[in-house]
Structure 1
Amino acid sequence: MILLSTVIETFEADLLGHYQDSLLPSHRQALAAMKHCRTSQSPVMLAKCDDCDSQRFVPHSCGHRNCPHCQSHESQQWLERQLQRQVPAEYFLVTFTLPKELRALAWQQQRTLYSLMTRCSWETLKTFTQNDPQLKGNAGAITVLHTHSRRLDYHPHVHCVIPAAAIDTEKRLWRTKRGKKGQDKKQTGYLFNHKALAKVFRAKLLEAITQAGLDLPHRYPEKWVVDVKSVGSGDKALVYLGRYLYKGVIQEKDIVACRDGQVTFCYQDSKTRQMRTRTLPGAQFLWLILRHVLPKGFRRARNFGFLHPNSKRLIGLLQYLHGLNPNRALAWLRKRPVLTCACCGGEMRIVKTRILPILRSQTMPAGQPG
């Protein structure tokens, strides 16, 4: 497996030479963090075994949300929180895509455009839920912003996981939506018409951009793209979204070659589902990765409506009344692995963190194994 830190070490100078004027402070911070993550230059933690008193150093992760090494635990915690909020309804994955004509504006005004995309996606779904004859109530949704395609090109879009359900607060009713019957008279999942969603999303986002004082491009398409897909109980869709929530846009196992100034990575074609490879100069590959570093402090994932954390008691009541046990969905999740002692196999605990490499010899007691 080719480490991303190795790729950065090899091509960082070329990257700075070619993209010096395009790199933002957030890009440089991400680059520095991933370059030293779990290497000999990174800080370490001191772990101690309570059974045999042996100690050893454990490399620190950099903790950056774009690093493929880091934040597996945070990603799992997010997934657990979402699964605990499951409600008795069919779930749908709705994807709102920004047209390519507006991508330049999004890149120049990332914090503003990303926020507007998320807000308008939610407001579109909220409007449709309130107006739907079967639902007629308040919606709930989980939104996750992605900025990349499978090829890692710049492609901003918002994924929304939404149950086909609504709460009527005035009448205190829980309503779910029934699917549509096809020609074979079988019930199929149906939420909203994707063309109607795209039309409303387009109007809301264009108005929001104008109100924000930003200039729209001279030309942009009349028809936008919104995809609506049934995802059953929502488990698999949440796992997919959680995969890219904290651990960057590429896994190191997908970097298949790094030689002759080129980097090759593999990806799954979204149309054919076939695995393909893409080869780029090393500096361009790193730039491709860094383009998807979000502005500092920007929240990629958000919860709205009755799926907001403030609705914990309401969701608990719904689960109780409908006999839904959220712990069943959590049962298959892997627990965080414990650190075991190489001498006796006992469980080790961290006793000191953020130890600089030059202080290792001063920290480790004499006679203890490193």
Structure 2
Amino acid sequence: MSRSALEVADIFRSHGPAWRKAHAGHVSLDQLKVMSAIERCRTAALGGHVARCADCAYTTIAYNSCRNRHCPKCQGAAAKEWLADREADLLPVPYYHVVFTLPVAIADIAYQNKAALYDLLFKVSAETMLTIAADPKHLGARIGITSVLHSWGSALTHHPHVHMIVPGGGIAPDGQRWVSCRPGFFLSVRVLSRLFRRLFLEKLVAAHQAGRLSFFGDHAYLAEAQSFAAYLAPLRKAEWVVYAKRPFGGPQAVLAYLSRYTHRVAIANSRLIACDQQGVTFKWKDYRVEGRNRYKRMTLATDEFIRRFLIHVLPKGLHRIRHYGLFAKGACAANIARARELLAAATPEAEPSTAAIDPGKPTCPCCGGHMIIIEVFEAGCTPRHRPTAPTNRFRIDTS
């Protein structure tokens, strides 16, 4: 895939210095680090190596990646590596996609309490799924969940929600059989929504009473208990959005879906159209509209584009991909082996994944020959060897 004509890195390099100066004192250290990493990614500032084809002598320079989890260029490769590890864990059953979304009023609180509220969103949505699935009136089984946090809408607005990928069934409480869900139906979204609402509000109030929430600006009054209770009162009767999509077509469809969601960042370079005097123009999807008309263009002032991108920088140490139930770390391998046994499915043979990239064996883009590293250069240094002209550059982007 050819390099995008415009990248987030280009916008940061050209407008970042002025933006940082204008907003000095109002930008977090984590946000500054993300900007710096994206600006330096795959440039001489991070160093790299020179590789030459053993057959045709084609020579190319590869600069090091920043590996920041918010970088549009780095996350495509990270997703493929992650998928290669997950491929053997897939079960031969239908998989479902369930989305838990926070109401706008709660999202406003989450904006000022990202670490606490994002963690709560993960835990409460998982508890909701595990509780309803374990109920004999619904499924009566222990299920496995892979959850992915997204904090953005298509227009880069703050819209925290969790995407879940769930096998269509689970292991019975006695561990002796696999319990499949009804064809085309996993769990009632209405029941999930009600329990999600109740559990989240209970734990949110507990967090407030424990003094673990902070409020600023227009929300400063919520620090007072009675005001907070009054703020939450309408939410106890409102409908909270829990959405379940149709089951996937098969294991490969699950992998294809995961590759688009697990390591996605707020906006991909491929969605950028232009950066000029009018601002930054990009493609976005209006989910309120059906059909082809939902795909639109939006132009934001450059300062506003940078601000919106940076509000999705995650708190340090917060994991955006988590596993629950049968897939919880530690017992995952044993649970999957037991599920395969109950499903009478053979364990996949250890074969090289077609989704994985083997960085140790790059091939020549000209003749397919083996590329050999002939020089490694440090950050900020210029390589002694020059690339073969014209240089073909490749990038892996997130969607």
TM-score (norm 2): 0.79
C-alpha deviation, 1:261, in angstroms: 4.5
The residue identity in structure 1 corresponding to 2:150 is: H
CA RMSD in angstroms comes to 3.1
CA–CA separation in structure 2 for the residues paired with 1:102 and 1:229: 24
TM-score (norm 1): 0.85
The gaps in structure 2 that reach 5 residues or longer are 214-222, 390-399
- Of 151, 154, 159, the residue aligned with 2:155 is 151
CA–CA separation in structure 2 for the residues paired with 1:15 and 1:368: 35
C-alpha deviation, 1:326, in angstroms: 5.2
Q: Which moved more, 1:245-254 or 1:208-217?
A: 208-217
Q: Does 1:202 align with 2:228?
A: no
Task: State the match for 1:318 in structure 2.
Answer: 339
Q: Which moved more, 1:254-263 or 1:242-251?
A: 242-251
CA–CA separation in structure 2 for the residues paired with 1:354 and 1:208: 52
Cα deviations by residue, 1:323-347 (Å, 9 ceiling, x for unpaired):
3675799976364575335787531
- Of 119, 125, 132, the residue aligned with 2:123 is 119
Task: State the match for 1:245 in structure 2.
Answer: 262
CA–CA separation in structure 2 for the residues paired with 1:134 and 1:28: 47
C-alpha deviation, 1:122, in angstroms: 0.5
Tell whether the 8 Å contact from 1:43 to 1:354 is kept in structure 2 after alignment. Answer: yes
> Secondary structure at 2:150's aligned position in 1?
strand
C-alpha deviation, 1:304, in angstroms: 1.1
The residue identity in structure 2 corresponding to 1:340 is: T
Task: State the match for 1:333 in structure 2.
Answer: 355
C-alpha deviation, 1:115, in angstroms: 0.8
> Secondary structure at 1:69's aligned position in 2?
helix
Shift of the 341–163 alpha-carbon distance from structure 1 to 2, 3 Å rule, reads closer
Q: Which moved more, 1:267-276 or 1:42-51?
A: 42-51
Tell whether the 8 Å contact from 1:97 to 1:157 is kept in structure 2 after alignment. Answer: yes
C-alpha deviation, 1:284, in angstroms: 0.9
- Of 302, 317, 342, the residue aligned with 2:322 is 302
**Correspondences of 1:1-370 after superposition (within 5 Å):** 1-47=5-51, 49=53, 57-133=61-137, 135-179=139-183, 189-212=184-207, 213=210, 214=213, 216=228, 218-220=230-232, 221=235, 222=237, 223-232=239-248, 233=250, 235-236=252-253, 238-270=255-287, 271-273=289-291, 274-309=294-329, 310-319=331-340, 321-323=343-345, 333=355, 335-336=357-358, 338-341=361-364, 345-350=368-373, 355-358=378-381, 360-361=383-384
CA–CA separation in structure 1 for the residues paired with 2:388 and 2:97: 51
C-alpha deviation, 1:95, in angstroms: 0.7
Tell whether the 8 Å contact from 1:44 to 1:353 is kept in structure 2 after alignment. Answer: yes
The gaps in structure 1 that reach 5 residues or longer are 180-188
C-alpha deviation, 1:353, in angstroms: 5.3
CA–CA separation in structure 1 for the residues paired with 2:118 and 2:336: 28
CA–CA separation in structure 1 for the residues paired with 2:46 and 2:352: 34
Identity within the alignment, %: 27
C-alpha deviation, 1:227, in angstroms: 0.6
CA–CA separation in structure 2 for the residues paired with 1:125 and 1:8: 40
C-alpha deviation, 1:16, in angstroms: 2.0
**How many residues are matched?**
357
Tell whether the 8 Å contact from 1:102 to 1:217 is kept in structure 2 after alignment. Answer: no
CA–CA separation in structure 2 for the residues paired with 1:129 and 1:290: 37
The residue identity in structure 1 corresponding to 2:345 is: G
Q: Which moved more, 1:278-287 or 1:64-73?
A: 64-73
Tell whether the 8 Å contact from 1:79 to 1:239 is kept in structure 2 after alignment. Answer: no
> Secondary structure at 1:65's aligned position in 2?
coil
Shift of the 252–343 alpha-carbon distance from structure 1 to 2, 3 Å rule, reads closer
CA–CA separation in structure 2 for the residues paired with 1:217 and 1:332: 53
CA–CA separation in structure 1 for the residues paired with 2:349 and 2:104: 42
